[in-house]
């Protein structure tokens, strides 16, 4: 089962170049607790911005350059491989960026976990629209962000 997870500003911003426009320790901890011991799927730009596989998680990097070096990760050159492998799987697999990967995999995701960051942030990378495909079913308030869980309609 594919589940998209991210943090975004009120304007859907998820990045500014290769960087996340905020640094909120509790939100990073939420991401870590949620994804620990699971598989992560991300694009090569997101992987490059992190710089290494995250501990205690299997990382699958989608990159159309078969020679892309993502040491410690599985590199997949065809997004259909991810879709076919995980869309009907009982294994929870977290899609964690970037914008292009989210846009392409959102139709195959069964759930979204979105942290809405409080405050105004500028950026040039945005999460795609999702409200017509998903409905909220749970919300958790934190000091600097709100986590909202969505299920596919």
CA distance 15 to 35: 20
Distance CA 23, CA 2 (A): 26
Q: Give residue 120's pLDDT.
A: 86
Region of residue 50 (phi > 0: left; psi between -120 and 50: alpha; otherwise: beta): alpha
Q: What is the H or E stretch that residue 151 is in?
A: strand 145-152
Does the model's pTM come out above 0.75?
A: yes
* pLDDT value of position 16: 94
pLDDT tens digits for range 127-148:
999 999 999 999 999 999 999 9
Q: What is the mean pLDDT of residues 111-117?
A: 98
CA distances from 107 to 49, 94, 104, 129 (A): 25, 14, 7, 11
Contact 125, 98 (CB under 8 A): yes
Span 47-98, pLDDT tens digits: 999 999 999 999 999 999 989 989 999 999 999 999 999 988 999 999 999 9
**Cβ-contact 145, 27 below 8 angstroms:** yes
DSSP one-letter code for 16: B
Q: Is the pLDDT of residue 44 over 90?
A: yes
Q: How many CA atoms lie within 13 A of 30 on its CB side?
A: 23
pLDDT computed for residue 109 by the predictor: 97
- pLDDT at 119 exceeding the cut of 90: no
C-alpha–C-alpha distance, residues 9 and 117, integer Å: 5
């Amino acid at each position: 089962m594919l589940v998209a997870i991210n943090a975004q500003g009120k304007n859907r911003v998820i990045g500014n170049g290769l960087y996340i426009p905020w640094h909120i320790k509790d939100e990073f901890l939420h991401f870590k607790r949620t994804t620990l011991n699971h598989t992560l799927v991300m694009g090569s730009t997101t992987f490059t911005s992190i710089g290494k596989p995250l501990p205690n998680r299997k990382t699958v990097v989608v990159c159309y350059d078969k020679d892309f070096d993502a040491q410690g990760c599985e590199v997949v050159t065809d997004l259909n491989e991810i879709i076919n492998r995980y869309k009907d799987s009982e294994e929870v697999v977290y899609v964690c960026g970037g914008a292009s990967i989210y846009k392409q995999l959102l139709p195959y995701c069964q759930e979204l976990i979105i942290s809405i960051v409080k405050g105004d942030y500028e950026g040039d990378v945005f999460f795609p629209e999702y409200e017509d495909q998903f409905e909220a079913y749970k919300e958790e308030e934190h000091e600097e962000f709100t986590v909202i869980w969505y299920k596919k309609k």
